[in-house]
Chain A
Amino acid sequence: MTLREVKEILEAEVLACEDLLDREPRSACGSDLLSDVLAFTKEQSLLLTGLTNPQVIRTAEMSDLIGVVFVRGKRPEPATVELAVMKKIPLLATRLPMYEACGRLYMRGLKGCSEVE
């Protein structure tokens, strides 16, 4: 599944790096704890989160994540979008709450981080 398909499935808006939506996440993680993302997420994953501060992008950068989806209608700070553009990390925003956003992607076959080697 590409990030472009993620955008359609989540009826999401693209906030940064529209040119990188051909990327294909190997797995996904839904969390509002960056500590958990750093400890448990695999590389090439997609992060779904309600957090919007720039440290989300830093965490994505260090963990080699390939995109971030902000859930439940959250909008990031301008500094977050600027950093994402600089680090080439696509940002999407959906009105769906975390559980439903994760559920839709999981039903369409996007695995969780514990399911990929």
Chain B
Amino acid sequence: MTDERPLIELERKIAGGDFQSAGDVSSELKRILQQVGFPPPFSRRVVIAAYEAEMNVVIHAWRGIFRAWIFPNRVHIEVDDEGPGIPDLELAFQEGYSTAPPHIREMGFGAGYGLSNMKKCSDRLEIDTRVGEGTKVIMDFFLNPS
């Protein structure tokens, strides 16, 4: 992070297993990005990645904190959860690999594209995970990636 001041900072809690509210944070982020006036294709990739990260907390973790810093030319997102962590990150990035339980698959999730889709949508993705403790996802999105 630099000294540059964000236009807007957003911090919201995410509850693990709460499918009723799942997506509320990403929806709020989408509204803010639209109000700031980002072009729709940019907002779309930020929001899809945010939603994947939010759903990962709801599906896999016990609780999490979603933070977004919105600057004029970029968005920085950090999603920090308390949860089981990811034992094999390389495997988790493989498209089609998923540890989601059957009830999640019945909802249409857990096809194993979450992490790879977050990587595709963001300009920088970093994952710090500790088994038995939790996972932190850090993503950057640049309006004009150089």
Contact surface of A with B, Cβ cutoff 8 Å: 32-39, 43, 49, 51, 53-56, 58-59, 61-64
Contacts and interface: CB of A to CB of B under 8 A. Distances in A.
Interface string B98-121: 000000000111111110110010
Contacts, number: 67
B143 to A, nearest CB: 17
Contacts of B47: 62
Contacts of A34: 107-109, 111
B19 A62 contact: no
A35 B114 CA distance: 7
A58 B51 contact: yes
A19 B107 CA distance: 28
Given A43-B40, A55-B23, 18 more contacts: A32-B108, A33-B111, A34-B107, A38-B48, A39-B120, A51-B107, A53-B107, A55-B107, A55-B108, A55-B109, A56-B108, A58-B51, A59-B108, A62-B23, A62-B27, A62-B30, A62-B44, A64-B40
A64 B40 CA distance: 9
B52 interface: yes
B100 to A, nearest CB: 9
Interface residues of B, number: 25
20 contacts: A36-B111, A36-B113, A37-B108, A38-B117, A43-B41, A53-B107, A55-B22, A55-B23, A55-B107, A55-B109, A58-B22, A58-B51, A59-B108, A61-B30, A62-B23, A62-B30, A62-B44, A62-B48, A62-B51, A64-B40
Interface in B6-56: 19, 22-23, 26-27, 30, 40-41, 44, 47-48, 50-52
Contacts of A43: 40-41, 44
A64 B113 contact: no
